Amino acid sequence: MLEQTQDNEEIITRVAALDIGKAEVMCCVRVPDETRPGKRLQEVKPYSTMTRSLLLLVDRLTALGVTRVVMESTSDYWKPVFYLLEAHGLDPWLVNARDVKHLPGRPKTDRLDAVWLCKVAERQMIRPSFVPPPPIRRLRDLTRYRRDLVEAATAEKQRVEKLLEDAQIKLSVVASDIFGVSGRDMMAALITGERDPKALAQLARSSMRRKIDRLQEAFTGHFTDHHAFLLSTMLGRIDAITADIAHIDTKIEELILPFAAAVDRLDEITGVGRTAAHVAIAEIGLDMTRFPTPGHLCSWAKFAPGISESAGKKKGAGGTGHGNPYLARILGEAAVSASKTNTFLGERYRRIARRGGAKKAIVAVGRSILVIIWHLLSDPDTQFQDLGPDFYANHTNRDRKIRNHIHQLNALGYRVTLDPVA
């Protein structure tokens, strides 16, 4: 039986495609031929990526009545062009280069790439990538830069630990965090020339003072002036990066203020803190109409398994693929944090981890968190409510539970006879 599909075969009447490089943009425009009905006119022309030349491009597209401009996501070169077209009222589309890959066997040039992209775009055979609105883009720039600074600080801290190991200073063996108050005081004393293990150990504070004997042994090494110079430089970089992170946090709080209500709702999710909520909003925005269902959002974020079927047989799809790395990182961190709680998400993690391992459990719980985020952002009146750690036990079929317990006892060598309690 024939079924109606949702495909739209209408050709975009006036369309342009841009093949973007660092120094040059190759523009292909296709419009109707007014003198020959059913025929198309085509113009292919290069433009410089300098602002003055791009403004000429905008004027040309406007004069030709172009209603859609399509470009590939080439590095970061697409951004200024996209933003300029957007600011002048055109309808730019950013598309994944993988979706418009040139057919094999054909020559590849910037001109041919622009023509191919334009022909594919006019037949509506591609879909746009998600580009958030300007307020979300500014927030995204800050949250991503913050993550980069955190990673830089972490790398510098690892260098400090390696430097201490090189000097046979085993502070990290005794202290769980060598960058706490006690650890920083001890490293500052090393830099100023203190080498006596007893004097260094006496700088310990609070609970660290119970480890003074071990600290004396840990500071028995060969720390030299060379190590002191390197340690001073590394700690200076860590302090500078930490100050930059605090400055970025202040700016993020300023930009996130209009979205404070959404942040508060996301903050209630198990394992999701305010920093993770900031990143989630920065990466997916607040307008969930871009993702019609939670499944669309999970698929976009690559937190849904792929589908692979051939000759009527479904094959293992492997991993989920590589999606947004910033979003994936905070979802993974939230999943690990939730796994340590006595909540629905914590129990979900433990159930899946027992059967499939920790990695699968992290992805599955991350997907659950993403589904919750979609619902909270789709309806401002929705509030997060934990289902409780006993959700699975209360909703598991009674006969199935009995059958599973019988199978387990049979596997242990017992014959089971059921005698219901009155």
- The dihedral region occupied by 321, where left means phi > 0, alpha psi between -120 and 50, and beta the remainder, is left
Instruction: Give yes or no for residue 212 having a pLDDT over 60.
Output: yes
Q: Return all residues near 244 (Cβ < 8 A) that are at least 6 apart.
A: 149
The CATH number of the domain holding residue 75 is 3.30.420.10
Split into its structural domains, the chain has a count of 3
Cβ contact 116:79 at 8 Å: no
Task: Write the single-letter amino acid at 248.
Answer: I
pLDDT (tens digit, 9 = 90+) per residue, 265-283? Answer: 999 999 999 999 999 999 9
Length, in residues, of the chain? 422
Domain boundary among 219, 234, 257: 257
pLDDT (tens digit, 9 = 90+) per residue, 107-133? Answer: 778 888 888 888 888 888 888 888 889
Do 232 and 185 share a structural domain? yes
Task: Write the single-letter amino acid at 280.
Answer: A
Q: Which domain holds residue 93?
A: 15-122
Do 371 and 266 share a structural domain? yes
Secondary structure (3-state) at 69: strand
For the chain, what is the mean pLDDT?
Answer: 88
β-bridge mates for residue 48, sequence order: 24
pLDDT (tens digit, 9 = 90+) per residue, 81-112? Answer: 999 999 998 889 998 777 666 566 667 788 88
The CATH number of the domain holding residue 144 is 1.10.287
CA distances to 36, 74, 117, 242, 295 from 9, in Å:
21, 28, 17, 54, 26
Place of tokens 């340690």: 231
Q: For position 57, what pLDDT does the model report?
A: 93
Higher pLDDT, 313 or 399: 399
Residue 10 lies in a domain: no
DSSP letter for each residue of 334-381: HHHHHHTSSSHHHHHHHHHHHHH-HHHHHHHHHHHHHHHHHHHHH-TT
β-bridge mates for residue 28, sequence order: 17, 44
Do 58 and 44 share a structural domain? yes
Domain boundary among 97, 122, 147: 122
Cβ contact 365:345 at 8 Å: yes
Domain boundary among 238, 257, 276: 257
Q: In the structure encoding, which two tokens stand for residue 262, read together?
A: 């959404």
Residue 97 lies in a domain: yes
Neighbours of 10 (CB within 10 A): 9
Residue 87 lies in a domain: yes
Instruction: Give yes or no for residue 5 having a pLDDT over 60.
Output: no
Mean pLDDT on 352-359: 91
Do 252 and 186 share a structural domain? yes
Q: In the structure encoding, which two tokens stand for residue 345, read together?
A: 């998400």
- pTM comes to 0.83
Mean pLDDT on 362-388: 92
Place of tokens 């269902």: 293
β-bridge mates for residue 24, sequence order: 48
Task: Write the single-letter amino acid at 132.
Answer: P
Do 193 and 299 share a structural domain? no
Do 269 and 235 share a structural domain? no
Cβ contact 53:47 at 8 Å: yes
Query: What is the rounded distance in angstroms from the CA atom of residue 342 to the CA atom of residue 78?
Result: 46
Mean pLDDT on 248-255: 96
Q: Please give the share of the chain, as a percent, with pLDDT higher than 70.
A: 91
Query: What is the rounded distance in angstroms from the CA atom of residue 335 to the CA atom of residue 333?
Result: 5
Instruction: Give yes or no for residue 323 having a pLDDT over 90.
Output: no
Query: What is the rounded distance in angstroms from the CA atom of residue 405 to the CA atom of residue 384?
Result: 34
Range from 34-48, 68-82, 307-321, 380-394 carrying the lowest mean pLDDT: 307-321
Do 68 and 176 share a structural domain? no
Residue 400 lies in a domain: no
Q: In the structure encoding, which two tokens stand for residue 25, read together?
A: 């943009």
Instruction: Give yes or no for residue 407 having a pLDDT over 60.
Output: yes
Q: For position 421, what pLDDT does the model report?
A: 77
Do 233 and 298 share a structural domain? no
Do 237 and 188 share a structural domain? yes
Residue 385 lies in a domain: no
Q: For position 202, what pLDDT does the model report?
A: 92
